[in-house]
Amino acid sequence: MSDGQSRPAAHFRFHGELECFLPREQRGSSITHAYARAATLKQAIEALGVPHTEVGSILVNGACATLSRIVRADDFVEVFSHAPGKAPFIPPLRFVADAHMGALARMLRMLGFDTLYDNNFKDEEIVARADAERRVVLTRDRDLLKCRDVHCGCYVHGLKAEAQLREVARRYGIERDMQPFSLCLHCNLPLSPAAPDAVAAHVPERIREHFSRFMYCPGCGGVFWEGSHFERMRRVLSSALNVAVS
């Protein structure tokens, strides 16, 4: 409880991977936190280091609550992460990745997911594009995910692209929506089928002798076929997702 001179306090318990956002000494037990008067659960939870995008469900004194609920003195708040495949997004599933997610962005494009990425993106541009185009923000910057205008986002814990892809796949259940090798890895635009004769000026004759199926990017003019590089990409994706990618 509190008196008229001090801020009220509530008790918070974070579960599962949400504990990764807490100092080690605060993990595994409840945290008593003094919050600003009229603070929402979103504000109080983020003050403790957990971005609102990472919150799957909340119980307050045993009852379900939303992030907009006002915190009250002596509340006991339990915060849970998203259940597998249940993280929110606005269909279709599209992403915008920050400057450190280049390899992950490329792998998501391989799987057919519209993924914006530019090494020069500023945080404000990422937020604006995510808000305007209803994209999921992918980042390791928790402050970016705390922005009010980021409605859907994912803190990526892994450091290597394969582990990062597994995280995103588990969180959003991407296997059900993937369309492998349907987007240009450079332009992020849909590829179109092209007849061998139509790409003759861009493809060596020895390639045209061995392959009959080609895809063309209307953005960069790139031409693609299912050669050894395609097979390597398919093996990497299949290994990362533990499902057959064809």
The ranges assigned to domains in the chain are 9-80, 84-179, 181-246
* pLDDT at position 149: 96
State in words which class domain 9-80 has.
alpha beta
Does the predicted TM-score (pTM) go above 0.85? yes
Least confident span in 14-23, 168-177, 204-213: 204-213
Q: Using an 8 Å Cβ cutoff, are 237 and 245 in contact?
A: yes
C-alpha 140, offset from chain centre: 10
Locus of tokens 């998501």 = 108
pLDDT 10s digits, 159-199: 999 999 999 999 999 998 999 999 999 999 999 999 888 88
Is the per-residue pLDDT at 202 higher than 60? yes
Task: State the Cα–Cα distance between residues 99 and 6, nearest whole angstrom.
Answer: 42
Asked if the model's pLDDT at residue 210 lies above 80, the reply is: yes
Q: For the residues 53-61, what does the mean pLDDT come to?
A: 98
- Cα separation, 128 vs 122, whole angstroms: 10
For residues 163 and 1, give the distance between their C-alpha atoms in angstroms, rounded to a whole number. Answer: 44
* Core vs surface per residue 195-208: b (16+ CB within 10 A) or e: eeeebeeebeeeee
78-103: b or e for each residue (b if 16 or more CB lie within 10 Å)? bbbbbeeeebebeeebbbbbbeebee
8 A C-beta contact, residue 140 and residue 156: yes
pLDDT for 3 beyond 60:
no
- Concatenated DSSP letters for the chain? ---SSS--EEEEEE-GGGGGGS-GGGTTS-EEEE--TT-BHHHHHHHTT--GGG--EEEETTEEE-TTSBP-TT-EEEEE-PPTT-----SS--EEE-TT-HHHHHHHHHTT--EEE-TT--HHHHHHHHHHHT-EEEES-HHHHT-TT--SEEE---SSHHHHHHHHHHHHTGGGT--TT-B-TTT--B-EEE-GGGGTTTS-HHHHHH---EEE-TTT--EE-SSHHHHHHHHHHHHHHTS---
136-163 confidence digits (pLDDT tens): 999 999 999 999 999 999 999 999 999 9
**Residue 160 main-chain phi, psi, to 5 deg:** -105, 150
Percent of the chain with pLDDT over 90: 83
